[in-house]
Chains A and B, each alone.
Chain A
């Protein structure tokens, strides 16, 4: 299909089967999924008609696991085994989690798994990845049930400000759940897609996304189906939960005061009471969106009766600093994009927490315009993700959208003295490659350790370490004589690879960065086998089917390309390609998936020069003799 597109830009490709793809919004508070049906992005509901699946997982005494409303209902009764807001712990160590004293879970730091935090439940130790996987499994079941077939893949959204450890944890969760991830998409970008396509919007827009646990702000330029992210910023530990928490602390202060006035003191809260009060706090917050005051009434397990009234004005005062905290990243993003308030055509609010009136007022004050709220802030992210998923599996649609996304955080490496040298600055458009030369520090130095880090701070200790690898075999030279070129490459999926090459000898080391927080292959395999038992035969037949589909697609593409452009290569080259096609056709009719995949690789290899020639010819064709009018989109 892509080959056809090159030879005839603008013409539609050969028709093919519609693939089942979904967009998943894996939220802190709620998760949901959407798909494109007859050209429209639609949210998929469960059998009770619920669109939102509360992101709550409960481990039952009988070994069963329940997810969603049923789990949420038991939150206060069984807090230790009912995990909510697990997204806040993804890719995090215990040390990263603020306020853990007020979170009713039993955290365990596991030295063996690279300090990834774990939760003690009655089902044993659980990582946030495993708990998230349960939510994804529930969504997958919902998808396959309502679409009536197996999913080809999913686009899962993540906060734009998630770092690589958090992104990798999300991908690991999807693998555990058996969901094929087409792409991790930034939540504000997904929202912009849904909003932009729905409103046929053109111009520069700000997406202000305050979710349950994360805050993101992105600035996008929308031009005829191209969504260009100009800048993104945020705070991956700030969200609606923090507003609940402010109310919770206020209630505690109130009861302490009352108890103290009565000449007594209050015992520390147990986990059930903490969860109960947090739930009451959340309800009060939601109530205050449309009301002047909220009454919080409940009975703690020790018999203490809580009965307090919180006014909307008090709530605004209590949370003023949280609202202000969202404006700092907003200003940073505006500066990075080099824009003034007057350049902004519209501000789109995303995330349930943007329903709070104080948020709307703050956004309105800063941008001097009324924010746009015509799409459901809970659903817009999933709707946008579904549109991108549909495009990425190759389903044709009328709105040919393209997303140009950016790196949210700077990438660099450690230099002498624990300092960070930035190689790829934040907000670089993907794909991006950058190289920088380094040299040796000591005479006769033959190896160099390269530590890859992510973050904006100047000291390595303040950034997140993503990987460490070594370049060995540097010829001994005087200090400062060797020329080591380090190249960072981030592809369209956001995957980083780093290559170090000594220029005179050509010795080279390469690493595809898998953050040290991610699970190892063995861990994933163990988790997969323990959760699925022996589905080996099943896996084999699926592999064979996939291999055959791949082979068919490439044979089809190459044949079409040869018909259109065989004049670009010699007759001998053409014969080699045709021989590989014939070989692959024979392999595809047999039952050996590995052999088929090898045949696909061989055909790919044989067509390298041809593909390059076609690309060059195509670029030349696209640019030669076209005046500006024709090139305008």
Chain B
């Protein structure tokens, strides 16, 4: 059986996803197919249930977050958003990137928790805008070239944001 991450939840492959539907369908799949429901079943069925539950966990994790959802949608179009041969970025975004990186490094050196939290908020605002762009480009216009550029920015920002979160954790 080869169901993609959207199929397994019976959802259409689009970026603008009903997250509540995703969550309730994820729970429904786990309720029905989690290995704990099959403890007294035959070995083959236990294995099957483990495979379904494993994929449901992986799919839920991938689709829940905008950056990984965008990346996965492009994979469905056979596009690798992040790869060694595909690294082009608009110069203004690169400049912006570097500025955020510097902010992060400064905040780390100064052990400035507030600055880190402020950076995370800025990144969140930026991410929201990119998500709106991606919906437009991927879901509506099917402009996968622009969508790939947007996805790459989303992934950058997601990485930066998680670095900022680890920095906060290291300070705590």
Contact = CB atoms under 8 A, between A and B. Distances in A.
Interface of A: 1-3, 5-6, 9, 182, 223, 225-226, 228, 328, 331-332, 335, 391-394, 400, 402-404, 428-433, 489, 491-492, 553-554, 557-558, 601, 603-605, 607-608, 611-612, 615-616, 618-619, 622-624, 626, 628, 631-633
B157 to A, nearest CB: 16
B155 to A, nearest CB: 17
B38 interface: yes
Contacts of B43: 601, 604
B1 interface: yes
A622 B42 CA distance: 21
A335 B52 contact: no
Given A557-B41, A604-B43, A628-B21, A431 B165 contact: no
B57 A328 contact: no
B3 interface: yes
Given A335-B169, A607-B44, A492 B34 contact: yes
Contacts of A433: 54, 58
A631 B35 CA distance: 20
Given A223-B27, A402-B30, A623-B10, A332 B172 contact: yes
B38 A2 contact: yes
13 contacts: A2-B42, A335-B168, A393-B40, A400-B31, A403-B36, A429-B57, A491-B50, A492-B35, A492-B53, A554-B42, A557-B42, A622-B29, A623-B7
B31 A553 contact: no
Given A1-B40, A626-B10, A431 B54 contact: yes
Given A332-B172, A335-B165, A608-B44, A632 B24 contact: yes
B102 interface: no
Contact of B31 (A3, A402, A491): A402
B108 interface: no
Interface string B10-48: 100000001001001101111111111111111111001
A392 B36 contact: yes
Nearest to A425: B61
B36 A331 contact: no
Given A432-B54, A553-B40, A615-B52, 11 more contacts: A1-B41, A2-B39, A429-B61, A615-B1, A615-B45, A619-B52, A628-B24, A631-B10, A631-B24, A631-B25, A633-B27
A493 to B, nearest CB: 8
A619 B32 CA distance: 9
B35 to A, nearest CB: 4
A629 B33 CA distance: 20
A36 to B, nearest CB: 16
Contacts of A558: 42
B32 A9 contact: yes
Contacts of B18: 628
Given A226-B27, A428-B57, A432-B58, A404 B3 contact: no
A5 B41 CA distance: 10
Contacts of B37: 2, 5, 402
A611 B45 contact: yes
Contacts of A605: 44
Nearest to B39: A392
Contacts of B48: 611-612, 615
B29 to A, nearest CB: 8
Contacts of A3: 41-42, 45
B144 to A, nearest CB: 26
A471 B58 CA distance: 27
Nearest to A432: B57
A475 to B, nearest CB: 24
A109 B40 CA distance: 42
A603 B44 CA distance: 10
Contacts of A392: 36, 39
A613 to B, nearest CB: 10
A11 to B, nearest CB: 13
Given A335-B169, A428-B57, A432-B57, A611 B32 contact: no
Nearest to A633: B27
A400 B45 CA distance: 20
A393 B24 CA distance: 27
Contacts of A428: 57, 61
Contacts of B7: 623
Contacts of A429: 57, 60-61
Contacts of B29: 622
B44 A612 contact: yes
Contact of A624 (B10, B21, B35): B10
Contacts of B50: 431, 491-492
B25 to A, nearest CB: 6
Contacts of A393: 39-40
A384 to B, nearest CB: 14
Contacts of B53: 431, 492
A188 B115 CA distance: 34
A392 B41 CA distance: 11
A428 B64 CA distance: 14
A482 B29 CA distance: 38
Contact of A604 (B31, B36, B40, B42): B42
Nearest to A492: B35
Contacts of A402: 30-31, 34, 36-37
B42 A611 contact: yes
Contacts of A601: 43
Nearest to A624: B10
A391 B40 CA distance: 11
Nearest to B24: A632
A615 B46 CA distance: 11
Contacts of A2: 37-42, 45, 49
B44 to A, nearest CB: 4
